[in-house]
Amino acid sequence: MQISSILRVLESLAPPSYQESYDNAGLLTGSGSWECTGILVTLDATEEVVREAVGRNCNLIIVHHPIIFKGLKGLTGRNYIERTVIAAVKQDIAIYAIHTNLDNVVAAGVNGRIASKLGILHGRPLLPREGVLQKLYCFVPVDHLEAVRAAVFAAGAGQIGGYSECSYAVEGVGTFLGGEGTQPFVGQPGSRHTEKEARLEVVLPAHVSRQVVKAMIAAHPYEEVAYDLVSLANTHPDVGSGLIGELPRAMAEQDFLELVRQAFMVPVVRHTRLTGRPVERVAVCGGAGSFLISKALSAGANFYITSDVKYHEFFDADDQLVIADIGHFESEQFTVDLLFDVLREKFRNFAILKSDVKTNPVNYY
């Protein structure tokens, strides 16, 4: 099986277009055309992880954090990044990073996994993502409407929240005049033709627009298909930064802190002072999430669980919620399990392994 087949599964889960502008997710070393001998899943790529992949006969490393984040100006081995890349290239190891695009897939991504560890229900984006939806308008003869509609649904259009196969159609009259050399489906070249048509409207994620348009054209009877594809200002209900949801029952703040400490196996939780109010609504963001503190406040969260919060940013809680910093690695540690589960479900008879290397650079004393 080629590496590209494995990457298609990951990119159907977390499309590359969902990553943030500063990110560098994707295939960082190697080639998608290589035959895959085995997959090693880890949070970070290091020299030790590359050696582990070689020793366990895995030529594909799936990581959360990109080892190449900024432009490399040389490969001389002067730091761990360059040494890791050199080792991967010399050993023909492909490294694929699935980072903020996996963060931004709410239910099935990093934050969804965090929420499941704490029993948070009804998870939704804390900061919904804009610019990821489009609308397709297609003009089709009435008798062929259902065939075209079924084709675009099958290609990924028509999903709105928990509802699928969503569309709207209105009938009208279209006209066209075929020029020299045309072969119109109805009417004659050189004569204006009037046809009873329907305008079909469907919403779709922007990353599937090419395949949806291709399916529409294949199912459409016309030689030249009239359609419009427009970007929407609507936010995507399942895509965005962070997650907010509700606990199945209210908890005392100290009890919830203990639940967090045990669920994420952390020796210490840095947090703001307790407010004395029960915990019912909880916001989370794996990794560095201080940029969402104001969103957690405005959304009415009682607790915000994240990491990498700076000293002065703790003041932003303003006694309105509890900010709990559990550590960057600790907040994302279950991403390895998430990726393993997704790959194991799709490739049951293939070698998929979790790394035994502890890549957390932070130690506690």
Question: Which pair of structure tokens corresponds to residue 160?
Answer: 């709105």
pLDDT tens-digit readout, 23-47: 999 999 999 999 999 999 999 999 9
Identify the pLDDT of residue 358: 94
Which single residue is written with the structure tokens 């075209």? 148
Question: Which pair of structure tokens corresponds to residue 65?
Answer: 């954090």
Name residue 187's amino acid.
G
Q: What percent of the chain has pLDDT over 70?
A: 100
The mean pLDDT value of the chain amounts to 96
pLDDT tops 90 at residue 356: yes
pLDDT tens-digit readout, 132-185: 999 999 999 999 999 999 999 999 999 998 899 999 999 999 999 999 889 888
Identify the pLDDT of residue 255: 97
Identify the pLDDT of residue 269: 96
- In angstroms, how far is CA 203 from the centroid of its own chain? 18
Mean pLDDT calculated for residue range 214-219: 98
Cβ proximity of 14 and 112 under 8 Å: no
Distance CA 225, CA 211 (A): 15
- For residue 16, what pLDDT band results from cuts at 50, 70 and 90? very high
- In angstroms, how far is CA 172 from the centroid of its own chain? 39
What angle do helix axes 335-346 and 3-13 make, rounded to 10 degrees? 120
pLDDT tops 90 at residue 237: no
Cβ proximity of 159 and 148 under 8 Å: no
- In angstroms, how far is CA 251 from the centroid of its own chain? 31
Give CA separation, 337 vs 54, 80, 110, in Å.
21, 25, 10
Question: Which pair of structure tokens corresponds to residue 177?
Answer: 């005049």
Cβ proximity of 171 and 151 under 8 Å: no
pLDDT tens-digit readout, 325-353: 999 999 999 999 999 999 999 999 999 99
Mean pLDDT calculated for residue range 81-94: 97
Distance CA 253, CA 276 (A): 7
Cβ proximity of 61 and 40 under 8 Å: yes
Identify the pLDDT of residue 161: 84
- For residue 71, what pLDDT band results from cuts at 50, 70 and 90? confident
Which residues are CB-neighbours of 175 under 8 A, at least 6 positions away?
A: 192, 193, 194, 195
3-state class of 208 per DSSP? helix
Q: What percent of the chain has pLDDT over 90?
A: 93
User: What domains lie within the chain, and their CATH numbers?
Assistant: 3-102+334-354 (3.40.1390.30), 110-128+240-326 (3.40.1390.30), 132-232 (3.30.70.120)
Give the predicted TM-score (pTM) of the model. 0.91
Mean pLDDT calculated for residue range 102-120: 96
Question: Which pair of structure tokens corresponds to residue 70?
Answer: 């900024």
DSSP code of 312? G
pLDDT tens-digit readout, 130-146: 889 999 999 999 999 99
pLDDT tens-digit readout, 256-314: 999 999 999 999 999 999 999 999 999 999 999 999 999 999 999 999 999 999 999 99
Question: Which pair of structure tokens corresponds to residue 202?
Answer: 């469907």
Mean pLDDT calculated for residue range 67-81: 91
Angle at 128 between CA 126 and CA 133, to 5 degrees: 160
Mean pLDDT calculated for residue range 210-222: 97
Identify the pLDDT of residue 156: 96
Identify the pLDDT of residue 162: 85
